[in-house]
Each structure stands twice: as C-alpha cells, then as structure tokens.
Amino acid sequence: MSPMQSTTRFLLHSVIAGLALAFILLFLWPSLAERLNGNREDPPASQPAAPASYADAVDRAAPSVVSIYTQRVEVQEISPQLQRILRRQYVARARQDMGSGVLVSADGYILTNNHVISQVRDIQVALWDGRFAPAQIVGSDPETDLAVLRIELDGLPAAPLANDAPLRVGDVVLAIGNALGLSHTVTMGIISATGRNDLRSV
C-alpha cells in the first residue's frame, strides 16, 4: 500500500469516526440525557434553619412558671443512745423540698407533678414577680404523675396550653423549672415518648 493510500484511508476513518460521534451527540445524546435526568432525584427542599436563639419563647413562658416550696414531716428512728435519753424510739423531722409548676389559668390553677406535692403538709408558691401564696391541692393522679394546685392572687400570668398540633417523638421542646434548686433554669431536649402512664414506679 502506497503512502498516499495509507493517508487517504486514515483520513477516511477519521471522517467516519467524526460523523459517528456527531450523530451520537446530535440524535442520541438528548434522549439519553433526558432519561438520566429523569432518573435523578430532585434535591430535597431546604429545611428551615433552627432559630439562633430561643430567648423570645422563654420571655413569653417564664412568667407563668412558679416555684413550689413544700414541707413534710418524716418520722425517723433515732440511735439507741438517744432512745435511752429521750425515752422514745422515733422523732419527727420537718423536711423542705422544692419543685416547679406552671400557671394554666388566670384564676390560679397550677399544673405540677404529683411527686412534688405528695404527702406534704404545707405548700407555698413563689411567682416570677416575687409574690408568695399558699396553695391548695385540687387533684392529683399518681399514674401520670400530675397534680393541680390553686392559689388566690390577682393578675396571674397564665400560659396558654397549645393543642393545635399533636406532639411527635423527636419534637424539640424547652423546659423551665427548678433544676437542682435553681429557679427558672431553662433546658432544651426532645420528646422521647408520648402516651405513657402508670409512672408510679419510675
């Protein structure tokens, strides 16, 4: 084969290859690209970012949170030495505890935990604005660990109870209470479960 024939064949092969590539790009690629794009999942819609601060929510809710001071009498056995001196086996001692609750109505109803007020003889409620008032037990439920108290004061900042949307496990919530005796401590967490009862053994 002469050099001229080799060059001609090389050019012919190049032209054929170029035409084939052009055919693929012009006729086959659009349908292929459409199929690929059709199989590609759309990117998820961007979720709203979490707020940088929860201060506004705390400002609205904190005035409705109350501190609950209780006093109960505990009977304790004393040492044998003191029994001989006092001529008794047991003594009664007053124990003071602290819990928290939330005003749910302007006429003084407070929602709290049953274990906060169980077997106590005196209940005092301290408000956000510094006022104090004695409280009476309206009702309690040991199975759900809930209780309702009532105080008699004017101008109470009740917190509205939200019921427009069901709570879901994983929802973010804020808690305002007396953690370790520190009044109006704010913490954040998630709902770990709903619909639980019979909490007496917890």
Output the tens digit of pLDDT for each of the chain's 202 residues. Answer: 555 555 555 444 554 555 454 444 444 445 544 554 555 555 566 666 677 788 988 888 899 999 999 988 777 787 888 778 877 777 777 788 899 999 999 999 999 999 999 988 899 999 999 999 999 999 999 988 999 999 999 999 998 777 767 888 998 888 888 877 778 889 889 988 887 766 666 5
Q: Are 70 and 120 spatial neighbours (Cβ–Cβ below 8 Å)?
A: yes
Query: Is the overall model pTM greater than 0.75, yes or no?
Result: no
Question: Domains of the chain, with CATH numbers?
Answer: 55-190 (2.40.10.10)
* Angle of CA points 128, 131, 135, to nearest 5°: 100
Q: Are 187 and 173 spatial neighbours (Cβ–Cβ below 8 Å)?
A: no
